[in-house]
Amino acid sequence: MAVCIAVIAKENYPLYIRSVPTQGELKFHYTVHTSLDVVEEKISGVGKALADQRELYLGLLYPTEDYKVYGYVTNSKVKFVIVVDSSNTSLRDNEIRSMFRKLHNSFTDVMCNPFYNPGDPIQSKAFDGIVSAMMVQAS
Amino acid sequence: METHEEKPIIYTMENKPIVTYAGDQTLFTALYTSLTQQLPREPMEWRRSYGRAPKMIYLEANFVQFKEELLPKEGNKALLTFPFLHIYWTDCCDTEVYKASVKEDMQRWQGVLRLHGSADWLIVVVENDNKKKNKTNILPRTSILDKIRNDFCNKQSDRCVSLSEPLKESSRSQESWSSFLTKLRTLLLMSFTRNLGRFEDDMRTLREKRTEPGWSFCDYFMVQEELAFVFEMLQQFEDALVQYDELDALFTQYVLNFGAGDGANWLCSFCQPVRSWNGLLLRRPIDMEKRDLIQRGDASLLDLRSYLFSRQCTLLIFLQRPWEVTARALELLHTCVQELRLLEVSVVCGALDCWVFLSCLEVLHRIEGCCERSQLEANYSHTVGLWTYATEKLKALGDLCGLVSENGPNSEDLNRTVDLLAGLGAERPETAQSLQSPYKKLKEALSSVEAFEKHYLELSHAAMEMYRAIGRLRSARLVGKSLAEFYMRKGDPQSAELFLLDSLKSFVSESWSLPLTHTRRQIAECQKQLQKMDEYLQTSALLASDTNLSHEERKHFCQEILTFASQPEGKGQAKVSLSMSSLGVLQELIFCPASAVVHVGAELQMELHVCSLQPLPVCVQQFSAALHFSTDPPGTHRRSAQQASGSVVFPALSPVSVSPALELCEVTELSPSDSALSSAGVACKNTHLLMRRPDSATSLQTGGTAATSALEEAEHMLRATDITLQPGHNTISFSAPSQKPGTYTLRQLCATLGRVQFVLPHLYPVVQYEVYSQEPQLSIQPLTECLLAGLPQQVQFCIQTGHYSVKKGDALQLSNTDSMPVLHTHTCSARIRNSSGDVVCESALSIQSSEKVTSISLPATPAYHTLEFQLEVLCRIPACPAAARVESERLTNGQISHRARSRTRYSSGTAIIDQKVSIDCPWSIYSTLVSLTFHVPFKVKHSLLTAGRRKFVQVCLQNVSDTNFRLTNQTLTENQDTPSLELLSLNTKTHCVVFSQQCVFSVWELRWSDAPPVSLQCVFSASFAPADAPDTHLKPYTHQFSLERVSTVYSVRADISPAAGDGECRCGSLCRLEVSITRLTEHTDAERSDEEYSDTDGLRTCRLLYEVMDNSSNWAVCGKSSGVVSMPTAAMATHKVQMEIMPLFAGSLPFPSIRLFRYLPHQANASVQPDSDSCVESDSVSVVERGVEECDSASVRSRSSVCSSSDGPRGLPMPRRQALGPAQVFSSTQSRQVRVLPAADHHQLEINVT
């Protein structure tokens, strides 16, 4: 399904980033990092027009020839980015949304862990499991 | 809008719905102009089927002469050429003419229409007044219209309209026009609705057949496009676009299904290898070449997509939505690439890149062509994606064709280039003349290395600038990074480094470690090529400590540093300073001793724990720390980070973008006047770190890669040499300099390896240690809780040598005092402790004592050590503690001490002796005075007891200490050797134990044979020792006291007898009190001095004041309670006084007390002698108390009235009374009681028992 899933802190440093091992990890880091430009653009745009709608899903951030990058931002400005292979055409917007929702729920669980220090890289196994499930589910 | 002359006119956007005209040609020609002008003037509502929203529509029409060929044949789906309305024009107003020719013509026209099933027609009858006037045989004009209606419009009377005087400017004419136009529009719309509806139904049927074999997408495409054309013709671009979008979606779905294994036959035609990649063509409204290809079924996938997009683009631009074009274009390009992959279409390598590149530029040109510059600039976010995409593709082409390499393309590359150019075909005629076109650009770029570079740079810079303009810095830097890679391949590291450093910035500031490492490695390569050694080493250091790299790579970079470091240092070359953070991470600093406070010259060890990040062992020649020295008094700096265990833990490095934690501290402010708290608050100590602007923060962090700040020159340094830092944990030991007292703060750390230095410019948290200097000090402390006087006591001498080192031969000189001798003990040893309290050595002390001085020679003791020894001293108890001895004694140093060397105080019933010891120390010319406090263990009270003439002395000894004592040999002696005086001990035991806080009483009887002694000086002495000590430890204890006026002079006796007639005293009834005072002794000379005598009637008398007092309010004295009697001085003289008293309670009541005083009348003026009774009872009676000075002694204080002489009015002559000594009066009725019955008539019995 997803080829890369990243959680980025409010200050834009990565809290968690994982990609399919077959493809270059570095490339995804660059892609996700660059996507922050669009995320920031969308957040600031959302802030003006859709502040009351509480829409966390940012939609397709930008497509490339090979990948589609989707974004999501929590109320605390933590960003989720999911990169999907372009050839994977079976994925609909709704499925991406539900992936983000799942990710957000798991992330909330991580945050609720009293032993987790907010701002540290996420090392939760449960979270890792959720992410793995999203990446394995490839059709 | 460019018009293409060669193409049939119907395919331009000038298309209008076709309306045919028949009938009177000249008439129509006359009306044509106004008709075409007026038709689109007003909109018409178009209600549509399938629930589509109604639209206002402006109608236009293309009027064509009616021909039969125009009517569509069966099966022809062309809609554009379809005549929607047929109009027959006539101005016939003559019935004859009508019948003769017009009707026939009309019938023929109608016949043709009916044959083709066309029901959309209209007959227009134009009425002209001119014509009417000329004709004479005029029928009523309605009749022609009616006739036509009758003949042709069976039920549709509205299909025939009249237009009156159309060429005249009159209101009638206008009305007529307007109604005619409305009719025309209505009919046109009806025709549209009907024909388009039918067409759509057919189209849908065709679409439903798509699963049948033989169905062709291309055919269907043509059909639906026809509909799109019509909508476009009707200016309904939205609807037209919908048609294309539907086609697009349908095609996409088929491709996807193909990918999923469900291939349609017709798709095979699209799977043919791509032979032409000449990009999109957006300059024509309709690309007929491609359309023909589709129509013929020869189109490749790219052709179809290109055509479809060009149509969508055209419509979107009509709709004023250029930005959607760019978004769709990007999507299209991505989709095409994907679809070609999905369909496994064979494409020449690089062909797609060409196609994408050309298409991107074509779209951009198209958009630029229809937008203003400002508009473009505001919408960079929409176009920049295409720019980047084009850049990427050009780069890929460059790579493919060998245009990026330093050597230029080889023959293989050239062949490939030729193939690619061939696929482009010839340039399209539209752009052939223009100087710039995507085609020309690509061709030029592929032609030579230089041209490629020019175009690539142009595109890259354009994309970067656009990204910057819209604030997408990360994207701009990514483009810059690929530009840097290009420069690197071109062998231009200088340009590459700039871009890499720029993109490094955002990775550093947002701590993306993987891209950071990658970029840094590229930078390292640049710097190496540029021979920027400082920077290269800095980067290498960072890379060597980077865990994202493989161990081999890290080793490589580490080796680079080591190699450089080992090169011989050139003259005048400064050392290369690198950041310490890449070498290792400071973990902990441990002080030994833990307090980090040492005396001057003492050893202070510091242990620094460093975790080396380098993959190889690093041999550091010198590890040094600059110290900042300040002479501030110790304790002025707070060392908050230093823990009690002596360790300073350095905080672990947090992600750089995370702001450091707040360091808060309490702030309290005291007001200067009354030092009351005026404000309290919390302050943040590291605001300078937190409040930094974000951009300056990044520049500070990247400063790590740039040269670090120069090493401070410091006076004091910590040094450790030749240390090998192993990867991982290391410990470095320093011994800290402590020559000068003050505070030392660690400022900078520096590790030197040959030509390279690793510098940590600031150490955080603050690490400090203190060095102090101390004066020697002597103190004497008791070993027990309190020192007891009279017994040998151990005291501890403690010498803190401070900066003075005790040499052999140095001695303490104690000046001896009688009150506290120093006792010799043969085994006296001194212990020497170092500053941390450990015993260093023990050595014997020699003590020599002379008459004046006790000299203790000290063992040699180094500075800042503690010398301890114990001495036994004995503080003698002063024989008479009542009187403090004030004496001045000569001290050994010749000075006269005017203060008492020992002073006795009293605190809480215990006598305390403060003993001063004067000691001469070798380090000072002044003597040291040390005060020791001794507690007297006993308190002694004595009392003289009387029984008639017999006298007894009672001594009460109370142990006030906490120790139990054994007491022996209690003796009482008289000092003055009074003759015939005998002290008879009545004590039975000679030994007894006095427990803590308990008393021992001992009694002696005084006996004398001749004249009684006036005063006695007595000494009570006893031996005491702690209860468990042997007899040899017994120490004497003496107590001196004196007794005065020992013998009894008066005896007082009282009798209470009931009133006459009563057998017993009764409560409430008067009784008689008889007081008899008897003088027991003859007048003696000894008394003369203090007695006042008066000779009256030749008899020597002395006046006595008696007083009956009842303190417990048992008695009520009736009448006078006191009086003055004259007593003869002869022995056994008796005086009786009677008075009446009344018992107030029943029971056994004690006698009221009777007191005697010597009465001293005022001598100065005897004549003014007031009534003695009143005088005595008044407050102003002054009392002279003898023996006041004895108040502290054991003698009994005389009880007397509280008046003091100073209270009385001085001027008034007053009689005085003088107390008799307590032993001089013996009251024989003391503590006697008398029985008192309750009052007889009382019903209630009231008994008071005392």
Structure tokens at B1065: 């005293």
Residue from A89, A91, A122 to probe the interface with B (highest B Cβ count within 10 Å):
A89
Report the pLDDT value the prediction gives residue B1165, as an integer from 0 to 100. Answer: 45
B990 backbone dihedrals φ, ψ, rounded to 5°: -95, -30
Domain total for chain A?
Answer: 1
Q: Is B342 on the interface with A (CB under 8 A)?
A: yes
Q: Do B657 and A13 touch (CB under 8 A)?
A: yes
Fold classified for B9-208: Rossmann fold (3.40.50)
Distance, CA of B485 to CA of B497 (rounded, Å): 10
Question: For residues B1001 and B1031, is the Cβ–Cβ distance under 8 A?
Answer: no
Out of A11, A13, A36, whose CB is closest to B474? A36
Average pLDDT over residues A26-40: 90
A62 touches chain B (CB under 8 A): yes
A52 in contact with B, Cβ within 8 Å:
no
Residue A109 — very low, low, confident or very high, per pLDDT cuts 50/70/90?
very high
> Which residues does chain A have within 8 Å of residue B259's beta carbon, measured at their own beta carbons?
89
Question: Mutating which of A13, A67, A68, A77 best tests the B interface, going by the most B Cβ atoms within 10 A?
Answer: A13
Residue A66, domain extent? 2-136
B478 vs A30: CA distance, rounded Å: 8
Please, is B1083 exposed, middle or buried when counting C-beta atoms within 10 Å of its C-beta (0-12, 13-18, 19+)?
middle
- Fold equal for B9-208 and B575-653+705-772: no
* φ and ψ of B1124, to 5 deg: -110, 130
Residue of A13, A41, A87 with shortest CB distance to B512: A13
Regarding the domain delimited by B575-653+705-772, which CATH topology (the fold level of the hierarchy) does it fall under? Immunoglobulin-like (2.60.40)
Distance from CA of A59 to the nearest CA of B (A): 14
Whether residue A11 lies within 8 A of chain B, CB to CB, comes out as: yes
Residue B19 near residue B63, CB atoms below 8 Å: yes
Q: Identity (one letter) of the amino acid at B1250?
A: T
CB contact, 8 Å: B337 with chain A? yes
CA-nearest of B472, B526, B517 to B499 is B526
Task: Quote the pLDDT of residue B339.
Answer: 84
CA distance B474 to chain A (A): 5
Cα-based distances in Å from B135 to B94, B104, B139, B699, B902: 8, 22, 10, 101, 167
How many other CB atoms are there within 10 angstroms of residue B974's CB atom? 18
Give how far B472 is from chain A: nearest CA, Å: 5
Report strand pairing: B1122-1128 vs B1099-1109: antiparallel
**Cβ–Cβ below 8 Å for B478 and A65:** no
Burial A23-57 (b: 16+ CB within 10 A, else e): eeeebbbbbbbbbbbbbbbbeeebeeeeeeeeebe
In 3D space, the residue among B331, B328, B290, B285 whose CA is nearest the CA of residue B307 turns out to be: B290
Contact yes or no for A84/A68 (Cβ under 8 A):
yes
Q: Of B251, B252, B254, B338, which to mutate for an interface test with A (greatest number of A Cβ within 10 Å)?
A: B338
| Model confidence pLDDT, tens digit, residues B541-580 | 888 888 888 889 999 999 988 888 888 877 777 788 888 8
Residues in chain B: 1250
**Is B379 near chain A, with CB under 8 Å?**
no
- What is the per-residue pLDDT for B10? 36
Distance of CA B471 to the CA centre of its chain: 33
Q: What pLDDT, on the 0 to 100 scale, is given for residue A112?
A: 93
Residues in B touching A38 (Cβ below 8 Å):
472
Longest dimension (CA), chain B: 206
Within an 8 Å CB–CB cutoff, is residue B352 touching chain A? no
- For chains A and B, count residue pairs whose Cβ atoms are closer than 8 Å: 67
Q: Which amino acid is at B1193?
A: S
Separation in Å, CA of A109 to nearest CA in chain B: 22
What CATH number has the domain bearing residue A54?
3.30.450.70
Q: Report CA-CA distances (Å) from B260 to A93, B250, B333, B334, B1245.
A: 20, 15, 21, 19, 128
What residues of chain A lie within 8 A of the CB of B515, using their CB?
26, 29-30, 33
Which of A25, A65, A119 lies at the smallest CB-CB distance from B334? A65
Residue A63 has its nearest CB partner, among B259, B330, B381, at B330
CB B798 within 8 A of CB B779: yes
B601: left (phi over 0), alpha (psi -120 to 50) or beta: left
pLDDT at A69: 92
DSSP assigned state of B99: I
Q: How far apart are the first and last CA of chain B?
A: 139
Shortest Cα distance from A129 to chain B (angstroms)?
A: 23
Averaged pLDDT for residues A79-102? 87
What is B777-935's CATH topology? Immunoglobulin-like (2.60.40)
Rounded to whole angstroms, the Cα distance separating B876 from B1037 reads: 9
Fold of B938-1044: Immunoglobulin-like (2.60.40)
**Cross-chain residue pair A12–B510, CB shorter than 8 Å:** yes
What pLDDT, on a 0 to 100 scale, did the predictor assign at position B637?
53
The token pair at B100 is: 């003769």
* Nearest chain A residue to B479, by CA: A34
**Inter-chain touch A25–B514, beta carbons under 8 Å:** yes
Q: Do A33 and B515 touch (CB under 8 A)?
A: yes
CB of B689 within 8 Å of a chain A CB? The answer is no
Contact status of B553 with chain A (Cβ, < 8 Å): no
Q: What is the DSSP string of B211-232?
A: GSTT--HHHHHHHHHHHHHHHH
Domain extents in chain B: 9-208, 212-347, 350-423+433-491, 575-653+705-772, 777-935, 938-1044, 1050-1237
Question: Residue A104: its pLDDT value, please?
Answer: 94
Q: What is the mean pLDDT of each run of 10 residues along chain B (1250 residues)?
A: 35 66 81 80 78 78 78 68 81 75 82 79 76 51 70 73 75 82 84 83 85 82 84 83 88 82 76 81 79 82 86 86 87 86 83 89 86 83 88 88 81 86 79 79 86 91 91 90 88 88 87 89 89 87 87 90 84 79 86 82 86 88 86 60 78 55 76 79 76 47 41 74 88 86 84 86 81 84 82 84 82 80 74 80 81 83 84 76 38 41 62 83 84 84 84 87 85 78 82 87 84 79 84 82 81 83 79 85 57 57 82 81 81 83 84 83 49 39 38 36 40 71 81 80 63
What is the secondary structure of B833-881 as a DSSP string?
E-TTS-EEEEEE-EEEE-SSEEEEEPPPB-TT-EEEEEEEEEPPPPS-T
Q: How far apart are CA B276 and CA B1169, in angstroms?
A: 158
Tokens encoding B759: 């510098």
